[in-house]
Amino acid sequence: MEQVGEVTFHSIGSTSVWIVMIAYFAVVMLFGSYFGRYTRSTTDFFFGGRRFSWWLITMSIVATGVGSHSFVKYSAKGFEHGLSSTMTYINDWFFVPFFLFGWLPIVVYSKVRSIPEYFEKRFSPSSRFIATMLLLLYMIGYIGIGFLTLGKAMIPLLPPEMFGLPVTLMSVIIVIAVITGAYITFGGQTAVIFTDLLQGFILLFAGLLLFAVGIGYLGGFQTFWDLLPMSWRMPLANFNSPPDFNFAGIFWQDGIAGSIGFLFMNQGLLMRFMACKSVNEGRKAAAINILFVLPISAIVVGNAGWLGKAVSVASPDIVNPASSPDQIFVVVANIILNNPIIFGFVMAALTAALMSTVDTLINATSAIFVNDVYRPIKGFVSKKIASKKDTEKRELGVARIASIGITTLGVLAVIPFDSFPTVYEAHGYFHSTLTPPLVVAIFLGVFWKKFTPAAVITTFLGGVALMLLGAKYPGVLIAPFDHGIQLNPDHPYTYIRALYNIIVCATVAVLAAWTTGLQHKFVRWVRHLPNTSMIMAVLTSLLSIIYTVVIASFFVNFGTVSSIFVLIAISIVLVPLVVSYYVVGYDVETHTKGLVASSIQDARRFFKGSEPNDREGQKVEVHYKLDDSTDDMIRFSKNDMKAMEAEPGDLVYLCDKRKYLGGLKSIHSVYGEAHDEDGIVYINTDQLKSGIFVEGKTLIAEKEL
Amino acid sequence: MPFTHTWLPYIYLYVVGGLLFLVGVIVVVKSGSLDLKKSYHRTWLTVLFFGLIWFMVMHALWNMAALEILSLRSSVILWLIFMIGSLGFGYLKFVRKERS
């Protein structure tokens, strides 16, 4: 192993390590392709056919949460600050009531496929457009963080020079970006779920293996504990210092903005929950994940840093206390595991999960681009109706080009993120800056019926403008909320800015929603004037000028904080007036039905197509027989229907009894008219193919709704 | 160790976070999304409060072990008693409900 300078490392990876890594990649891809055969429709492709059990989804979520960038960033903070690196994994419970009984049932029952789609249904197409732009920025930023982490994880394995060229972070990231493009996700969501399931188990195993071997290496847990200084054993960081890792800032950035962002905005996570067989099963998956899996994950992702610190205290010659924090995971894993095959396996698990996450994000971002940008623009520009085949072919081409563009933007996003000392701080800054407007908009949209399209657009525009002003003058605007955290001039208020950003967005949102009556009065008044169109055109132009000035003032030094603030305040008054004038046809009752927490019953009615049947019945065991029906109904005996408390027309879930399959062999259907053969369900050949049921195997049926 | 690193973060976390949690519970109950007339929704309400206590106890015992108020061994034993006790109690309730 060659140590370059004092803190960075190169050439840790031997040939055996690379062989193990390549073999691992091949096995994971083959595993994914095997489960690709369970994909039979677009619903299967994107949502896994809504069939899986909670435990399967819980484990597959591990790779989404742990696999992304966690090993590198939490090991870094574990090495710098100790066990308090776990706090971001153990502060997600506060928003669970909102998620389990607000957002999750709405997303499933209203059948929205993406967050922008929710914005269109709940508000207006213009809200969808702005939400799409913000979401694309968020996802491209996330891809950038993924690339940065991959680059930092790979650099220590590579020599300082290859083919006569220096190995730099950016060159490694560009090569990774090309390979990521080729790392195809086989077969859609079912394959992704099973690949992530495998990777989830492996990641947990690899992390716990490292911890167990590391504890043995140090001489036992008590020795490890005693080696750590007292402040390093604390589960929560110091309240307000140092600026790069403090409790108050991280609570608002991660516990609040991050938790809502992760639960409410993460399209990949939402798609996992939508793949659960029912809303209740999704609730179980989320609750078990947060209660049990995340605390274990916190140990898995951070322990390399803690072990590194303990070894550096005991033997500074083995782990240099000044080692680069972002490289500590690779350095400690190499020292402690001390075996190229096991080390190669751990590194392969880490990089494969990272690549899988980045790849999923690129696919999801490209899907959002096609669905929420290309299609609306295409529909607006050309009214020509093409055949389905031609449309799909063209959209596939657009998706491919979009993927290349998104990957390029993701690579470019690495440049600003790399200016931060660690990935953790880059990610913290990114989260506290980009999530608040969307988080506030989604949250108020779901829980506040009076939140209007005018209010949501004002939140996006006015909120972002005030956030820019805060970023420009942090010492004036963010300082009142800093909880005593010192301002670091290089990266001012990396985390606590989330509190300022949430407060300004929420304040703008509430003010705009509370003044809805006044906005409508203005619109009614202006419509009666002879020169309405001209007045509105002037107001719209004025708004454009104001926002141009605000954005320019962020990049170029002119104006004072008060003058720019006054301009933004004027825009916050004008935006809802202009939006209220142009957005016509918004009706509170229609646009909130089934889309806010207070109308979940409407959402359930919409999902079923009739009144839900909430009588609690039992599960019944049945065997299937084929009939030649062509409808989407399945038929049970009268006694079985009675045991399930089911009526014809209710929704039913039919699944192979073997629990370890996790719902892989199952279907959703509708109860048909009853027959007299107890223990028999009649299904048709399409349902047999979709459920992949095996003749002679017992099935379990339960009423869904 | 200053108070800002011992108990202040813990108090802040569970006072501010706890308030947000309570607001969440009230909102979902008032909106009817968490319908306390349904038995499995009542179970969910118990799970929600159990989760909050779960993390509060975990952090409190960890803090005490770190500050050497309790030995590491005592903290781990207390944690195991709490974990096994609460999960066992939950399991027994589940079994009794299944039988009835």
Taken in order A671, A673, A674, A679, the sign of the CA dihedral is negative
Residue identified by tokens 């019953």 is: A601
Q: Do A93 and B65 touch (CB under 8 A)?
A: no
Q: Do B39 and A93 touch (CB under 8 A)?
A: no
Helix, strand, or coil (residue A55): helix
Q: What is the pLDDT of residue A246?
A: 94
How far is the alpha carbon of A419 from chain B, nearest alpha carbon, in Å? 29
pLDDT digits (tens, 9 = 90+) for A448-476: 999 999 999 999 999 999 999 999 999 99
User: Out of A83, A102, A234, whose CB is closest to B33?
Assistant: A102
Instruction: Check if B11 contacts A (Cβ < 8 Å).
Output: no
What residue in B sits closest to A598 (Cα-Cα)?
A: B31
Task: With beta carbons under 8 A apart, name residues in chain A contacting B65.
Answer: 233
Mean pLDDT of chain A: 85
- Which strand ranges, in their side-by-side order, compose the sheet holding A651-656? A633-634, A666-671, A651-656, A699-703, A620-626, A680-683
Task: With beta carbons under 8 A apart, name residues in chain A contacting B8.
Answer: 239, 247
Task: With beta carbons under 8 A apart, name residues in chain B contacting A256.
Answer: 20
The whole-number average pLDDT for the span B73-100 is 82
What residue in A sits closest to B26 (Cα-Cα)?
A: A97
Rounded distance between C-alpha atoms, residue A608 and residue A703, angstroms: 12
What residue in A sits closest to B53 (Cα-Cα)?
A: A93
Residues in a beta bridge with A652: A669, A703
Contacts of A669-673 spanning 24+ positions with Cβ under 8 A: A669/A632, A669/A633, A669/A634, A670/A632, A670/A633, A670/A634, A671/A633, A671/A634, A671/A635, A671/A636, A671/A641, A671/A646, A671/A647, A671/A703, A672/A629, A672/A631, A672/A633, A672/A634, A672/A635, A672/A648, A673/A635, A673/A648
pLDDT digits (tens, 9 = 90+) for A364-411: 788 788 888 888 888 777 766 667 677 777 877 787 788 888 888 999
pLDDT digits (tens, 9 = 90+) for A203-237: 888 889 999 999 999 999 999 999 998 999 999 99
**pLDDT for residue A51 is more than 60:** yes
The whole-number average pLDDT for the span A7-26 is 71
Kindly report the pTM of this predicted structure. Answer: 0.86
- Please tell me the number of Cα atoms within 13 Å of A664 on its side-chain side: 17
- For residue A515, count other CB atoms closer than 10 A to its CB: 19
What residue in B sits closest to A260 (Cα-Cα)?
A: B20
The whole-number average pLDDT for the span A151-179 is 80
Residue identified by tokens 């719209």 is: A540
Q: What is the pLDDT of residue A72?
A: 83
Report which residue type is found at A613. Answer: N
pLDDT digits (tens, 9 = 90+) for B16-59: 999 999 999 999 999 888 988 888 889 899 999 999 999 999 99
Rounded distance between C-alpha atoms, residue A668 and residue A433, angstroms: 41
Q: What percent of chain A has pLDDT over 90?
A: 38
Residue identified by tokens 């595993």 is: A31
Q: Do B27 and A234 touch (CB under 8 A)?
A: no
Instruction: Check if B43 contacts A (Cβ < 8 Å).
Output: no
Q: Most confidently modeled of A27-41, A351-365, A561-575? A: A561-575
Residue identified by tokens 């193919």 is: A689
- For residue A611, count other CB atoms closer than 10 A to its CB: 13
Instruction: Check if B32 contacts A (Cβ < 8 Å).
Output: yes
User: Which distant-in-sequence residues (6+ apart) come within 8 Å of A100 by Cβ?
Assistant: A283, A286, A287, B28, B44, B48
**pLDDT for residue A272 is more than 90:** no
Runs of H (alpha helix) within B1-100: 3-6, 8-30, 39-66, 72-99
**pLDDT for residue A43 is more than 80:** no
Q: What percent of chain B has pLDDT over 70?
A: 96
Rounded distance between C-alpha atoms, residue A256 and residue A249, angstroms: 10
Task: Enter the tokens of residue A101.
Answer: 């009984």
Q: Do B66 and A83 touch (CB under 8 A)?
A: yes
pLDDT digits (tens, 9 = 90+) for A22-41: 777 777 667 666 665 555 54
Q: DSSP letters along A587-612, please?
A: -HHHHHTTTSGGGHHHHHHHHHSS--
pLDDT digits (tens, 9 = 90+) for A515-556: 999 999 999 999 999 899 999 999 999 999 999 999 999 888
**pLDDT for residue A187 is more than 60:** no
Mapped to the 3 state alphabet, what secondary structure does A125-168 carry? HHHHHHHHHHHHHHHHHHHHHHHHHHHHHHHHHCCCEECCEECC
**pLDDT for residue A4 is more than 50:** no
Mean pLDDT of chain B: 90
The whole-number average pLDDT for the span A322-330 is 86
What residue in B sits closest to A289 (Cα-Cα)?
A: B51
Contact A127, A444 (CB under 8 A): no
Helix, strand, or coil (residue A379): helix
Nearest to A600 by CA among A612, A615, A588: A612
Interface with chain A: mutation pick from B28, B29, B41, B63, highest number of A CBs within 10 Å:
B28
Q: What is the pLDDT of residue A366?
A: 81
What residue in A sits closest to B63 (Cα-Cα)?
A: A234
Instruction: Check if B34 contacts A (Cβ < 8 Å).
Output: yes
Rounded distance between C-alpha atoms, residue A356 and residue A180, angstroms: 8
How far is the alpha carbon of A98 from chain B, nearest alpha carbon, in Å? 5
